[in-house]
Structure 1
Amino acid sequence: MFRHTKLLQFEAKPEKPDPVYAHKLQELIGGAFGEMTVTMQYLFQGWNCRIEGKYKDLIMDTATEEIGHVEMLATMVARLLEGAPATTTAEAVKDPVMAAMLGGMDVQQAIVAGGGALPADSNGTPWNGKYIVASGNLLADFRANAAAEAQGRLQTARLYNMTDDPGVKAMLKFNLARDTVHQKQWLGAIEELKADGLEDEIAPNALLDEEDQTHNKTIWHLSDGPDGAKGAGWTTGAGLEYLMDPEPLGGPGTAPKPDPALYGTYAPLQDAKGTAKGKAKQVKNKLT
């Protein structure tokens, strides 16, 4: 059961309207690493968690907080859109809607949302449930959570530097702080999973004896950059070896003969070579 409290977790009052910035702020709502993503990611992780107690409670506490972050941002967007497009004008354009559009406003915020926020990113792309990670494996999920919070904090930091509005900056300072806490908590939770003996370094901690033992300790040098092997943290420190001149282990990646009903262009390899030579000879004869 969820119960809504009318008060915001933190204040969301801009000093003045700014429809252009409201457009930008949509990224923190409906972007791939926005608050809608972490909200649904944590909710489904919590609902799918098979262990009652501290891990599930942590997930659900954070999930519920993230719902409040969506509300804060949606409120801020609505307040940034106050008076737009009715009073947002550009000298070069008399029509206020066109002026707002040329100025960088998301016109769907006016046309579709009636001057409010949208479940979409800063390009107007609708939020997608495919953004979330909720696998049921807490080690894999917590690593994804730490990465999501890092990306979210990075985008918040960039948006922080795109405004001079003290009210907006105050809210973003709060958001930055919460993203810091959430990164720390997920990294700490990973270590606690290990300490509790529930997970280890590799997710999932299974089939380690079944995997190919020849290839579970080498990094393949497959780019022109020569310095990868200098990283002690992922070579000697991790018990791995840089294979500097790896050779292919498989044969040609040739697709099988297509189903005739699909009309794929096909010829056996030997005939294809002969056909190619024959066509080249025909072209040569025509030219001469």
Structure 2
Amino acid sequence: MIGTIVYKLTKDAPIDKIKGTPFAAHYANHGKSPFPHNAAGVPWTATFINSKDDPIADLHEDMAAEQKARATYEHLIKLSDDPGVIDALKFLREREVVHYQRFGETLRIVEEYMNMKKHY
């Protein structure tokens, strides 16, 4: 989503508006194409996905990821002065909050199930 927002904001930007900005490094490697990387330019890889084959640990990891995404959206909102971008980021931030809540509810259900006495 963020890549799409950046693309829409930069697709028609002339090169003289790109030179000397933080976006110039991205442009040098990828042009104006969306390319998933963090703010430091580190490309996204599957190593960002964590799984322990333990539902409790995995749900905690999911919840942490939602909070990290929420914090990133909040930082981006503070950096933006475009009302349309801010509205989109607010929507995405709220979506992360709801995801966090749903993972929390799922965690409680899984913990209850794992702690209940099993009858065979």
TM-score (norm 2): 0.84
Q: Residue 102 of structure 1 aligns to a residue in which SS?
A: coil
Structure number, greater radius of gyration: 1
Looking at secondary structure, tell me which structure has more helix per residue.
Answer: 2
Matches within 5 A, 1:157-236: 157-195=74-112, 197-198=113-114
Tell whether 2:39 aligns with 1:134: no
- Which of 39, 55, 59 aligns to 1:122? It is 39
Change (3 A) 1:175 1:74: same
Q: Structure 1 vs Structure 2: percent identity of aligned residues?
A: 26
2:21 aligns with 103
Query: How big is the shift at 1:129?
Result: 2.3
Q: Residue 112 of structure 1 aligns to a residue in which SS?
A: helix
* Contact 1:81–1:116, Cα closer than 8 Å, also in 2: no
Once superposed, what is the RMSD of the aligned Cα atoms? 1.9
TM-score (norm 1): 0.37
Report the AA paired with residue 105 of structure 1: F
Query: How big is the shift at 1:155?
Result: 1.4
1:82 aligns with 11
What whole-Å deviation, never above 9, does each CA across 1:93-135 have from its counterpart, x for those lacking one? Answer: xxxxxxx342322433x23333122121111111232222112
* Contact 2:3–2:36, Cα closer than 8 Å, also in 1: no
2:70 aligns with 153
1:73 aligns with 2
Report the AA paired with residue 2 of structure 2: L
Runs of 5+ consecutive residues of structure 1 not aligned to the other structure: 1-71, 89-99, 201-288
Distance (Å, rounded) in 1 between the aligned partners of 2:85 and 2:115: 41
Distance (Å, rounded) in 1 between the aligned partners of 2:57 and 2:29: 38
Distance (Å, rounded) in 2 between the aligned partners of 1:178 and 1:161: 18
* Contact 1:106–1:124, Cα closer than 8 Å, also in 2: no
Change (3 A) 1:106 1:74: same
Query: How big is the shift at 1:199?
Result: 5.3
Could you say which structure has the greater relative contact order, defined with CA pairs below 8 angstroms and 6 or more residues apart?
Answer: 2
Runs of 5+ consecutive residues of structure 2 not aligned to the other structure: none
